[in-house]
Structure formats: structure tokens, C-alpha cells
Amino acid sequence: QSENKQLVAYVVPADVPPTISEIRTALQQTLADYMIPSHFVLLDELPLLPNGKVDRKGLPAPDTRRPNLETAYVAARNPQEAQLVNLWEDLLEVHPIGIHDNFFALGGHSMLAARITAALHSTFGVDLSLALLLAKPTIAEVADYLRKQGPEVVPRIAPASKGELLVPIRDQGTRPPFFLVPGGSGGESEFLLYAPLLYQLGD
């Protein structure tokens, strides 16, 4: 239905239907973020063909209405937040979106996040890094960041700070941290560059 291809999960609850937030939270314990569906459709039963296989053409299209989130819906409070709401609704294809709704809980993923940051630059003239969007995944947080920028515009060629180069995929948990770093030629210079990460490993 659009150029934005999304992963949709069709769920047949065995008992009391869970909320979308509960399903997403459960999947986050075992799946990487990019493997979590953007939309969840709850069904009483799956449509079947005469041979017993799932009738994929009979599956309903995902609902574009705001899912049942743990966060209460709060409408935009000013023109800037209203602009951000319109931008998110167009890209996420979800309506309505509240200013405290988490981008990723609404079905956002890394590819859509990149489109969001590009749209922010086009609309507001400010470059918002992907790392910053991961850290501030709500419209209220992004709007607050934009207000603090004032009239200044971050140049597109500005180098990222050290903090922006480290993107936490999951900043909570009990297992040892796992780091992905770019390859290089090795040597003392690279060791000194990555040595500070050792402090994140704990005991």
C-alpha cells in the first residue's frame, strides 16, 4: 500500500488478549530490534485455505490507528510539536500519535529513523543524529532538543562527538555487554581508542 515495507505479525491469543506493548516487550527479550514487527494484528483465528495453509490474501491489513500503548495519549501543545506529529504520522503511517509515544513502540525501526532525521533536517534545518533519536525517541523530547538549539543550525558536515559515535542498542540487562566496532589495522593507537569500553564490562 506504500513504499514503506513493514513487518506485520498476526497473533491469535490463547487466552486474554495481551496489549501491543506487552507483546513488544516480550519479543524484545529474545529478538533483535530489527526483527520485531512494526505492526501487530490480533485475530480470533487465522484465515485458512482448503488445504489447511494460512490464506495470506485473507489476512486483514494492519490497523493504522494508534496501538494500545502503556503511555497515555497527549496531543501536541504547540505548532512545533504539531509539525513533528504530522511528520511522524506520515512516515509511521499511524494516527494519531501522542507527544510522549515512543517512536519504536509505534513500529519505528532504524530505516524509518534515518528517514525521520532526514525529514527533520529538511523541515527544521537541524541535523539530529540517529544516536540522539535512539536516546530521545518521543516527540516531546525531540521538540525540547530543537528548542534548546535556538537559532543555531548544526552543519551537516560537523563531526560527531564521541558520545554520538556510541549507539546503545539495549542499555539494560544482566548479561555482559557486547560491542561492535569497525575493523582496522590494529596496534597501540586502536587499543587506546577502545580501551575505555573495558570500563563498561564491569567485573
User: For position 96, what pLDDT does the model report?
Assistant: 93
As given in the structure block, the three cell numbers for residue 182 are: 569497525
Residues 88 and 116 sit within 8 Å (Cβ to Cβ): yes
In 3D space, the residue among 1, 9, 66, 60 whose CA is nearest the CA of residue 39 turns out to be: 9
The per-residue pLDDT of the chain, averaged, comes to 78
Residue 55: pLDDT band with limits 50, 70, 90? very high
Phi and psi based region of residue 173 (left: phi greater than 0; alpha: psi -120 to 50; beta: remaining) = left
In 3D space, the residue among 109, 77, 74 whose CA is nearest the CA of residue 93 turns out to be: 109
Q: What is the CATH T-level fold of the domain 8-58, as seen in this structure?
A: GMP Synthetase; Chain A, domain 3 (3.30.300)
Least confident of 58-67, 127-136, 137-146, 159-168: 159-168
Residue 190 half-sphere exposure toward CB, CA atoms < 13 A = 7
- Domain residue ranges in the chain: 8-58, 79-149, 162-201
pLDDT digits (tens, 9 = 90+) for 74-126: 999 999 999 999 999 998 888 999 999 999 888 887 778 888 888 888 888 88
Mean pLDDT for the stretch of residues 141-163 = 62
User: For position 152, what pLDDT does the model report?
Assistant: 44
Determine if the pTM surpasses 0.85. no
More confident residue, 80 or 152: 80
Residue 197: pLDDT band with limits 50, 70, 90? low
pLDDT digits (tens, 9 = 90+) for 7-43: 889 999 988 888 887 888 888 888 877 788 878 888 9
With a cut of 50, say whether residue 154 has pLDDT above it.
Answer: no
User: For position 153, what pLDDT does the model report?
Assistant: 39
- Give the rounded distance of the alpha carbon of 18 from its chain centre: 21
Decide which of 3.40.190.10, 3.10.28.10, 1.10.1200.10, 1.10.8.60 is the CATH code for 79-149. Answer: 1.10.1200.10
More confident residue, 128 or 161: 128
